[in-house]
């Protein structure tokens, strides 16, 4: 049977546009900036992999996309959501009832750790029915979709719906949560470390299922993870975060094999793939910066083997190095020569 053609994602059709987006918290020891003047387009129908170490700002980026930053956090800048190419929604200036409708119905989120997302006193069926009822959808049609989604995720719908969260394994809980996030037919699915609590086999299984769901339900997916190899075969593009901003962005294959930022290469050399011998892995020296005291100049310079006086003094902008590849580094052209990858092939599998 002939494989269906892979849909082409238009670079001129963003579903999200973020301009100068920051998230700040006032603290006793100063302003904590946990997202720092982010500029990014998310394309309709793409799977965008957002990667970086813990504490790089990935989860705050996810919360900003839903205008869900908790008090006393403040989100600044512009986030424009385009449900259709000719409709603009100013996400940060919606009324509360409009925002509540937008979440789940158009933009849905799957968090890390399904147990913390489910109410342990409610059955899985109760969770689906409550979501459908609150959003005033037809119950019969909604539950029929729930069953289809659970089946697509290789779950026995009757057994899962009649179970309480604690009666399901971790992998089953996470798949049920993905089905719940999709039951109202959203356009965008934001997934924040959705497989972090699972074993490697279940992680790979869910990655494959997400890929299938994206194609079947025509989803735009933002997949957030600290595990770059995990998302290697899933993402159309990779966006690498460091110190609360994006430092490299481009097609997944290009970033994986031709990265031009020292930090991206450090991530790849730390865990190139599951088969890499430990002797080949290169841990990243130093630690990610504190959000209250991000270094002047290039935020990565204290950990970078290529840093010089220019890096200490000037913060490099995220600039194009190819048609669809952007890097924030003064010396991006030299990076592949100075910092070789541990392995030529960094994909988990083909």
For residue 72, the Cα-to-chain-centroid distance in whole angstroms is 23
For 229-264, how does the pLDDT look when each residue is reduced to its tens digit (9 = 90+)? Answer: 889 889 999 999 999 999 999 999 999 999 999 999
User: Which percentage of the chain shows pLDDT scores above 90?
Assistant: 71
Is 70 exceeded by the pLDDT of residue 343?
A: no
pLDDT tens, residue by residue, 251-309: 999 999 999 999 999 999 887 554 555 555 667 888 888 888 899 999 999 999 999 99
Q: What is the pLDDT of residues 114-160, one digit of tens each?
A: 677 899 999 999 999 999 999 999 999 999 999 999 999 999 999 99
Nearest to 346 by CA among 273, 278, 276: 273
CB atoms within 10 A of CB 218: 12
Sequence-distant (6+) residues with CB within 8 A of 110 are: 117, 174, 177, 178, 181, 189, 190, 191, 192, 194
d(CA 103, CA 101) in angstroms, rounded, equals 5
pLDDT above 70: percentage of residues in the chain: 90
> Where is 78: in which H helix or E strand?
strand 74-81
User: What is the pLDDT of the chain when averaged over all its residues?
Assistant: 89
Give CA angle at 82 (76, 85), nearest 5°: 145
318 within 8 A of 326, measured Cβ to Cβ: yes
> Tens of pLDDT along 37-54?
999 999 999 999 999 998
Pick from 173, 270, 257: which is nearest to 226 by CA? 270
Amino acid 196: pLDDT: 82
Q: Quick check: 93 pLDDT over 50?
A: yes
Q: What is the DSSP letter of 327?
A: E
**61-83 mean pLDDT:** 94
- Please return the burial class of 236, using the count of CB atoms within 10 Å of its CB with bins 0-12, 13-18 and 19+: middle
pTM of the model: 0.90
Q: Which residues of 290-327 are buried (b: 16+ CB within 10 A; e: fewer)?
A: ebeebbebbbbbebbebbeeebeeebbebeebeeebbb
Task: Using the predicted structure, report yes or no on whether residue 13 has a pLDDT greater than 80.
Answer: yes
Min mean pLDDT across 111-125, 166-180, 220-234 is at 111-125
Q: Please tell me the predicted confidence (pLDDT) of residue 81.
A: 97
pLDDT at 164: 97
Sequence ranges of the domains in the chain: 253-349
- pLDDT the model gives residue 2: 42
Phi, psi of 120, deg, nearest 5: -65, -15
Q: Could you tell me the strand order of the sheet in which 237-242 lies?
A: 107-110, 188-192, 220-225, 47-51, 237-242, 245-251, 325-327, 319-322
Cis peptide bond N-terminal to 126, omega within 30: no
- Give the model's pLDDT for residue 9: 45
29 band by pLDDT with thresholds 50, 70 and 90: confident
Q: What is the pLDDT of residues 18-28, one digit of tens each?
A: 999 999 998 87
Give one DSSP letter per residue of 115-181, joined into a string: GGTS-TTS-HHHHHHHHHHHTT--HHHHHHHHHHHHHHTT--HHHHHTS-GGGS-HHHHHHHHHHHH
**What φ, ψ does residue 45 adopt, rounded to 5°?**
85, 0
């Amino acid at each position: 049977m002939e494989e269906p053609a892979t849909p082409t994602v238009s670079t001129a059709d963003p579903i999200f546009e973020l301009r100068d987006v920051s998230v700040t918290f006032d603290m006793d020891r100063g302003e904590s900036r946990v997202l720092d003047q982010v500029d990014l387009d998310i394309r309709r129908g793409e799977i965008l992999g957002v990667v970086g170490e813990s504490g790089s700002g990935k989860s705050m980026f996810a919360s900003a996309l839903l205008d869900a930053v908790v008090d006393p956090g403040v989100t600044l800048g512009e986030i424009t959501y385009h449900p259709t190419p000719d409709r603009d929604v100013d996400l940060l200036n919606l009324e509360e009832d409009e925002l509540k409708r937008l979440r789940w119905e158009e933009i849905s989120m799957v968090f890390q750790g399904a147990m913390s997302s489910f109410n342990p006193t409610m059955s899985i069926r109760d969770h689906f029915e409550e979501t459908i009822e609150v959003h005033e959808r037809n119950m019969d049609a909604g539950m029929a979709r729930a069953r289809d989604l659970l089946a697509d995720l290789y779950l026995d719908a009757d057994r899962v719906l009649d179970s309480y969260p604690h009666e399901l394994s971790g992998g089953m809980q996470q798949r049920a949560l993905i089905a719940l996030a999709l039951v109202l037919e959203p356009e965008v699915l934001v997934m924040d470390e959705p497989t972090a609590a699972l074993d490697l086999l279940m992680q790979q299984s869910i990655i494959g299922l997400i890929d299938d769901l994206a194609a079947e339900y025509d989803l735009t997916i933002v997949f957030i993870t600290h595990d770059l190899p995990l998302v290697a075969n899933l993402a159309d593009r990779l966006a690498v975060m460091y110190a609360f901003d994006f430092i490299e962005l481009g097609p997944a294959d290009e970033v994986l094999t031709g990265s031009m930022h020292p930090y991206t290469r450090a991530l790849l050399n730390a865990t190139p793939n599951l088969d890499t011998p430990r002797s080949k892995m290169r841990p990243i020296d130093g630690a990610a910066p504190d959000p209250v005291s991000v270094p002047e100049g290039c935020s990565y310079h204290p950990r970078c083997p290529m840093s010089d006086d220019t890096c200490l003094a000037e913060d490099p902008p995220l600039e194009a190095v190819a048609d669809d590849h952007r890097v924030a580094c003064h010396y991006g052209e030299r990076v592949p020569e100075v910092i070789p990858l541990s392995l030529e092939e960094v994909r988990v599998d083909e």
